Amino acid sequence: MNNYKINLPEKDIPKNYLNIMYYLQKYLGKLPDPPLHPGTKQPAGPEDLAPIFPMELIKQEVSLDEFIPVPDEVYELYKQYRPSPLYRAYNLEKFLGTPAKIYYKYEGGNATGSHKLNTALTQAYYNKQAGVKKIYTETGAGQWGSALAIACNHFGLECEVFMVKTSYESKPYRKVIMNMFGAKVHASPSAETDFGRKVLTEHPDSSGSLGIAISEALEGVIKSGGTAKYALGSVLNHVLLHQTIIGLEAKKQLEIAGDYPDIIIGCCGGGSNFAGIAFPFLVDKLSGQKKDLEFIGVEPTSCPSLTKGEYKYDFGDTAQMTPLLKMYTLGADFMPSPIHAGGLRYHGMAPLVSFIYHEGLMKAVAYEQTEVFKVGVDFARVEGIIPAPESAHAIKAVVVEALKCKESGKSKTILFNLSGHGFLDLKGYEDYLSGKIN
Amino acid sequence: MNNYKINLPEKDIPKNYLNIMYYLQKYLGKLPDPPLHPGTKQPAGPEDLAPIFPMELIKQEVSLDEFIPVPDEVYELYKQYRPSPLYRAYNLEKFLGTPAKIYYKYEGGNATGSHKLNTALTQAYYNKQAGVKKIYTETGAGQWGSALAIACNHFGLECEVFMVKTSYESKPYRKVIMNMFGAKVHASPSAETDFGRKVLTEHPDSSGSLGIAISEALEGVIKSGGTAKYALGSVLNHVLLHQTIIGLEAKKQLEIAGDYPDIIIGCCGGGSNFAGIAFPFLVDKLSGQKKDLEFIGVEPTSCPSLTKGEYKYDFGDTAQMTPLLKMYTLGADFMPSPIHAGGLRYHGMAPLVSFIYHEGLMKAVAYEQTEVFKVGVDFARVEGIIPAPESAHAIKAVVVEALKCKESGKSKTILFNLSGHGFLDLKGYEDYLSGKIN
C-alpha cells in the first residue's frame, strides 16, 4: 500500500517556475491575445505597466522562456513550508466507495493557510529589489492579503490592503493576521479612496467586490507619487507562473507514488491555484504525450466566469483603470452575491486560463454553495482537514468524478489542489450547519 | 546545512507508546503515589474507575509495561497526519542572534490543530471497543474538545462537551468545529447540570474553569446510567502515555539530523504536551546516559500550579467528584483569570509531571500573558507559523534560553513542542496587538 502522505525531500523543491507560454508557443503555435492599453486600445507595452509593477515582474508577464528561476532568497523562504505534502485520500475513496484513486496537494500548511504565499514572496522580493517602499493590494477572502502581508513584513515593505467588505465582516480574523504582519487593512468599498467613496455614495450597502477593491488599491498606487506599487494575487501571467511550483512538486510526488493523473481539478477564482496544479501537467497534453488528460476548473454558480461569461476584452477592475484583458468575464461591473468563498468572487478569469478553456484544453463546471459546504464537511470528517470554501469547490467536482467511476466501475486517478484550510472560514460552515445557507 | 523540515517516513511512526512508569520503577525505584478514593481515602482500584473509563484505559493508567502498543486502527488514522514534522528554527535563531540550535516538533497540522488528537483517537477507540455509546468531556480552549469530537465522529460515538465559558466566548469557532464533527457543546458553567446551576446561582458571572467543566462532564456520565463514559484530555497517566508518540518521533528525527537536545521545553497546563515531548528523552536522563539533559515546563503566572502550587492530594475537579490525585495544585476551587491560553488554566498538574518535578528532574518557569504574546508574534513573523497561545508559553522559555546562549557564547540544542497553531486564537492576538492586554 502506498503512503497517505507523499513527502518530497527539501532538495527537490523546484528551482524554476514553469512558463506555460513557452509550451503554448511551441506546441500550439499561438498565444493568448495581449493586454490592451485602456486609452489607445493598442497592446500594452512594458512602459504602460511600469507605474504599477516592478520591471522584473513585467518581464515575467511577457516572457517566452521555458523556465524562470526562483530567486535564491525566495527559495530559502520556500524551505520553511515547501515541499507541501501530497496526500492520497484513502479515506475519501473508502467513504465514496469509488474505485478512483484520489490525490490532493495540500497548500494550507503555512502561516497564511493557502497557496497565495508562493507568489506573494516572489512579488515582494522583486518589489524590494526595485526599491519599492510600499505595496497596495486587494483581497477577497483574505488569503492573498495575509500572504502579501507576511511577505512584505519579511522584506521590510509597507503593505496596505483593501479587503472586500463581505469577507472583512465574515472573516474578521483574517484582518488580525494581516495586522500581525504589520499590514494596514480597509473594508472595501472604503472611505479611503475617491472610487470607494463614489461607490459608497451610490451603493451605501455595497458588500464589495474584487473589482472594486482592485480599483481602490490602484488609486493608492497612483496617489503615492511613484513610491508604491501594486500586487495582484491571481489573474496575471506572472502570478500563475509562480504557482506552477505546486504542480511541479505534485508531478515529482506522483512519480514517487508510481502514478499519473487522468483528471486534474482546481477551483477557479482568478485562476492561479488551478493553473498552479494544472500547467505542469498540461505540458504533457500539449506535447501529445498525454492526449486524454482532463482538466476541470470549478467555480461557484454565483460567479460563473468560465461557464456563463463571454470571452472578450474587459477591464480587470470596476473603475476601469487596468489594461484591458482578453478573458472570460461577467463584466467589470458584475456584483457577485456575498458567498463565503470570497476568493472565487471575481468577474473575470486569468487570460491564460481563459485561453486554454477557449482552446478546448480544459472543462469548467459550476456548483451551488450548499452542495460545496456539504462535501467540505464530509471531507473534513473523513480526511481530517477542514477545507477552505474555495477549495471545497474542487472537492465537489472530485466527488462527482469519483462517483462516475463508481458507476462505471472504471478506476481513474484524480489529482486536485487543496489550496487552503478553512480555519478562518468557520462562519461559513456555521451558517451551513445551522441551515442559514439555502 | 540541515533541512528546515525533518520528515520521518510513514513506516517510522512509532508502533508503541512509551510508558515512563516502567523507567521510573527501573531507574528510580519509585513511583508517584496512587490516586485515592475520595470517600475511603484508600488507593483507588480499577473498579473505582470503571464507571467512568473503559477497562483497557484503566489498565494503561496503572501499567508498568515498558511499551504499550498503538492499536492498529488508531495507527492507520495516525498516518493521516503523522509523523508530524520536526522543524529547525533557522529563522528564529537568526532573529535572536543566538548560537543555540532550536528545533520544534509541530503538532498543529491536523484538523483540530493540536496534539490532542493523538490521545483522542486512542481513547475513542477503546471506548468503542468497550461498547460505550457516548463520551462526555470538558475542554478549555477547545483543542481537546475538537479532537475528541473528530475521534468520536470517526468511531460512531456521541460526544458532549462542556467548554469553559471564557474560551467559549473568545474562541467561537472552536464550537463550530466540534459541531462540524457532530458534537454537542455547552458553555460551562451551564444550566445543563446540577453542579453548573449551583455555580451559576452563586457566581452568575463565572467565566468558568476546567475544574468546573470536568465536574459537569462527570455528572453527565453518572446520570447516563452506564451508557456513557468520560474522557480527559490531559493529567492522567494514559493520556500522557499516548502523547509520547510526539517525543518518540522527535527522537528519530533528531537522529536523522544528527543531533540530540540539551534542553527540552513544553508548556504545562495539565501536563500532556510537555510529557509527550519530554518523556522519551527523560528515559536517557533516568538511565544516566544523558545526566545533564534539562527539562523546562512553562506555565502562565496566572495559573502557576508547579511554580506556586503545593504538592499534595487534591481533587481533579471543582465539585470534588474525582479520585484524589497527588499533584502540584492551587486548590480545586482555584479560579484562574480568563487568559487567552485557555488550555493552561488548570488548577492542578499531571501526577506524573508533578512527581518528576518533585524529584528534581525538571524545572518550571512562569510567564505573563503579554510577554508570551510578544514572542508569539515574533515567532509567527520569522518562522511562518502562528502559535497557539499555550504553545507560545514554550516559545517564551525557548527565547530566554537561547538568549542565555547568546550571552554566554555557548551553543546549546533546544527542542520544544509547538503543540498547536493559533488560527482559532486570533482574538487573543487582536487584543494583544491593540493594547487591550496589559
Question: Which domains, from first to last, does chain A contain?
Answer: 5-13+71-114+238-433 (3.40.50.1100)
Distance from CA of A255 to the nearest CA of B (A): 17
The predicted model gives A49-75 an average pLDDT of 97
> What pLDDT is recorded for position A340?
82
Size of interface A-B (CB pairs under 8 A): 103
Phi, psi of B163 (to 5 degrees): -105, 130
Chain A residues bordering chain B (beta-carbon distance below 8 Å): 3-5, 7, 9-10, 79-81, 87, 91, 109-111, 113, 150, 153-154, 173, 176-177, 179-181, 377, 380-381, 383-386, 421, 423-424, 426-427, 429-430, 433
Beta-carbon separation of A386 and B111 below 8 A: yes
Beta-carbon separation of A381 and B79 below 8 A: no
> What pLDDT is recorded for position A339?
79
Higher pLDDT, B262 or B345: B262
Beta-carbon separation of A91 and B111 below 8 A: no
Tell me the pLDDT tens digit for each residue of B71-100.
999 999 999 999 999 999 999 999 999 999
Tell me the pLDDT tens digit for each residue of A276-324.
999 999 999 999 999 999 999 999 999 999 999 999 999 999 999 999 9
Inform me whether the pLDDT recorded for A2 exceeds 70.
no
Tell me the pLDDT tens digit for each residue of A394-422.
999 999 999 999 999 999 999 999 999 99
> What pLDDT is recorded for position B2?
66
Beta-carbon separation of A433 and B10 below 8 A: no
Please name the residue of chain B whose CA is at the shortest distance from the CA of residue A175: B430
Q: What mean pLDDT is reported for chain B?
A: 95
Distance from CA of B251 to the nearest CA of A (A): 19
The predicted model gives A377-402 an average pLDDT of 96
Tell me the pLDDT tens digit for each residue of A218-245.
999 999 999 999 999 999 999 999 999 9
Distance from CA of A62 to the nearest CA of B (A): 32
Count Cβ neighbours within 10 Å for each residue of A273-290 and write b for 16 or more, e otherwise.
bbbbbbbbbbbbbbeeeb
Beta-carbon separation of B111 and A79 below 8 A: no
Beta-carbon separation of B10 and A10 below 8 A: no
The predicted model gives A98-125 an average pLDDT of 96
Confidence of residue A200 (pLDDT cuts 50, 70, 90): very high
Confidence of residue A338 (pLDDT cuts 50, 70, 90): confident
Question: Helix H segments across B28-164?
Answer: 46-49, 55-62, 72-78, 90-96, 117-129, 143-155
> What pLDDT is recorded for position A389?
95
> What pLDDT is recorded for position A112?
87
pTM, to two decimals: 0.95
Beta-carbon separation of A384 and B3 below 8 A: no
Of the residues B173, B174, B373, the best mutation for testing chain A's interface (the one with the most A CB atoms within 10 Å of its CB) is: B173
Tell me the pLDDT tens digit for each residue of B35-44.
999 999 999 9
Beta-carbon separation of A111 and B181 below 8 A: no
> What pLDDT is recorded for position A164?
94
> What whole-number percentage of chain B has pLDDT above 90?
91
- CB contacts of A153 in chain B (<8 Å) are 381
> What pLDDT is recorded for position A111?
83
Tell me the pLDDT tens digit for each residue of B55-75.
999 999 999 999 999 999 999
- CB contacts of A423 in chain B (<8 Å) are 113, 173, 421, 423-424
Beta-carbon separation of B380 and A180 below 8 A: yes
CB atoms within 10 A of CB B57: 26
The ipTM estimated for the assembled molecules is 0.94
> What pLDDT is recorded for position A9?
92
Phi-psi region at B249: left, alpha or beta (left = phi > 0; alpha = psi -120 to 50)? alpha
Beta-carbon separation of A176 and B113 below 8 A: no
The predicted model gives A6-21 an average pLDDT of 96
Chain CA centroid to CA B424, Å: 17
Question: How far apart (Å, rounded) are the C-alpha atoms in residues A303 and A328?
Answer: 11
Tell me the pLDDT tens digit for each residue of B146-205.
999 999 999 999 999 999 999 999 888 999 999 999 999 999 999 999 999 999 999 999
Please name the residue of chain A whose CA is at the shortest distance from the CA of residue B83: A5
Beta-carbon separation of A423 and B427 below 8 A: no
